[in-house]
Structure formats: structure tokens, C-alpha cells
Amino acid sequence: MLAVVVHGFNDSDKGKGSIDLVIPYLKAAGFEILNFDYGDWGLFDVRFNNDAPAKELARILNGRECVTVAHSNGNLICDNAAAKFGANILAHAAIAPAMDKDRIFARSMQHIDVYYNKKDWAVFWASLLWFNHPWGKMGRVGFIGTDRRVTNINTIGYTPFIDAPGHSNILPHLAGGLVCAGWGQYMAGRLANAVGLLTA
């Protein structure tokens, strides 16, 4: 089963110091890896061009079943790839998602884990930017709704925030913190179990 890893916004090292740290755990769980890089985007790109990488990801996947693991803005790209462009994403791990807290996830996603933390101030402040409409504060408050596909996983008290190389030190990256705290294995295991149940 393919696992697609997607980095977040303003990521000059293309996720090497943050979301890519989960890759060894995904490999150990038996996943093949596609590391999807959409570039070091700023606020303008997020606001006006976010559909372009979502469409490209769906094109690359070409209907292939997969799971996705994404950080921050990468979660929007994964969800849009499935919801708007037909990517066949069965399960999704959303790390500090910069999404509206009540977002309706793509229908193809049968299992969604939302890793959130009330110390994620980056998504809180970003959600207040009127010109940055696509973002919300799910990464800080979790998913709010009744969708039974979604499991909220509160990482407060367990996940140290770290400053990943190549990132601004005022934007702590939960992805690296999750892996440093041993959450990578937990996350990969949940995705593997979900896919096993869904494809049995």
C-alpha cells in the first residue's frame, strides 16, 4: 500500500526536518512511500493556488489506492486531491491541520486521524487572516463534528514542540515533535490497521 507524505506551508527544506521524520515508521509498517513536494509556498500561493498541487497529486496517483500523512497546509492539499480531483485516499493522518475545524472530509477517506494540540498557535493566527481563507484552526482544537470516520488525538502533554531546521523558529512544527516523542510508530500503526480493515 502506498503512503503519500505531504509537507506544510513555508517549508524551505521540503519537509526534511518535520513531516519526513515519519517516513521510517511508515516503511517499517510496510508502506511504500511517495514524498510529494509542492514547493516552498507563501501566503499568496496558499490563498490562490492550493488547488494546483492537489490536482497534480491526483494526477500522479492516477486512481491508485493510498493513505496520506500530511502536516499543516498539506492536509488541505490531500483532502482537495480526493474531494475535487478524485484521488483514491482510503485513510489520512492529519498532523496540525490548517483546516476549518468542521470541514467535511473527502468521501473516499474512510479513516481520518486528527493530531491536534492547543499550543498550535500557528494555525490559530492563520485562521484569523481574512485573505488566507482556506485555513482554519483544526490543528489547535481538533475536528468538531459528528463524522464517525474521524478520531481526534490530543497530543498535549506528550508532544514537545521543536524548531525544525529550515523553518522559522516562531512557527513550531508539530510534525517533528510527534516523531521525536515516539508518535511516528503509533501513527503508522493506526494507518496500517485502518487499511487492513478497509481492504480485507
Domains and CATH numbers, the chain: 2-199 (3.40.50)
Tell me how far apart the alpha carbons of residues 66 and 92 are, in angstroms, rounded to a whole number. Answer: 9
pLDDT at 193: 87
Q: Residue 8: its pLDDT value, please?
A: 76
In this prediction, residue 185 carries a pLDDT of 74
Q: Hey, what amino acid is at 9?
A: F
Cβ atoms of residues 106 and 141 within 8 Å: no
| pLDDT at residue 156, as a whole number | 67
Q: Which residues are CB-neighbours of 113 under 8 A, at least 6 positions away?
A: 92, 93, 94, 150, 151, 153, 187, 190, 191
* pLDDT band at 110; cut points 50, 70, 90: very high
Would you state the pLDDT for residue 111? 95
Given a cut of 70, is residue 118 above it in pLDDT? Answer: yes
- Cα R_g (the chain), whole angstroms: 15
Which region among 31-40, 53-62, 78-87, 130-139 has the lowest average model confidence (pLDDT)? 130-139
pLDDT given for residue 134 in this prediction = 64
* DSSP code at position 162: B
Per-residue pLDDT at 188: 85
Residue 35: what are its φ and ψ, rounded to 5°?
Answer: -95, 105
Residue recorded with cell 500561493: 45
More confident residue, 186 or 54: 54
pLDDT of residue 50: 80
